[in-house]
Structure 1
Amino acid sequence: MATIEKLIKAFEALRAYQSAVSVVEEVVVKKKEQPVTKKDKIQNCNLISDCICASNMRSVTDFPKFLGIAIETFLNLCDDPESDIRMVADECLNRSIKVRSLQINYKDIKSVRKKEIPENQMSP
């Protein structure tokens, strides 16, 4: 269960960065939290990938939900202005897909990717 807790904390840390928050909520978030640094983004991205690839995650009932959030997070970070963050996010996405495709149904990953890729193409 420690893996799940680490995964959730990493998601929360990167959610503060993502711009999917409305304008009013964004002002509140900015007052409460400091901006996520480049180092933190890279560290949390690697942590998410490590947790998704952990062998004990196979038995978690909410794993498809965690996988979907992880892939969405990696794809959002692939659109980051910093090239280092984009590169790490791409590597983490590829590693997660490779490791998990050996352990779970490849169609699940493929369906999540098909859903997320058009959404990211629509963003400016």
Structure 2
Amino acid sequence: MQDPNEDTEWNDILRKKGILPPKEVPKEDEEEELALQQQSVVKTYESMTLEELEENEDEFGEDDEAAIEMYRQKRLAEWKAAQMKTKFAEVGEISGQDYVKEVNQAGEGIWVVLHLYKPGIPCAL
């Protein structure tokens, strides 16, 4: 016969069905769990008093602000680098004379997308 206090899937099913009594938790574990639950409870700003709000107002220290500023500068540098890489930011109309310059001589690694049309003929786009 199995031990009814053993942590097995089968015993858990039997406890859910009411066949086995609920497993007893030692008193020390209950106190630890209660202490952890109380620590993990975060008070929302709506439930705080004015004094508590004032105490929590300046949570960021100088080190935190320096780290945030460093992260901000890093992200700005990444954004500027991405902007420099962007080659495909232009939409323009070219004539037949500009075709060779704009399409054939656009440069290595640059793709050109064309939408050819004739004035006066309706376009499906």
TM-score by length of 1: 0.21
Instruction: Work out which structure has the larger RCO, using CA pairs closer than 8 Å and 6 or more positions apart in sequence.
Output: 1
More helix by share: 1
TM-score by length of 2: 0.21
Highest Rg: 1 or 2?
2
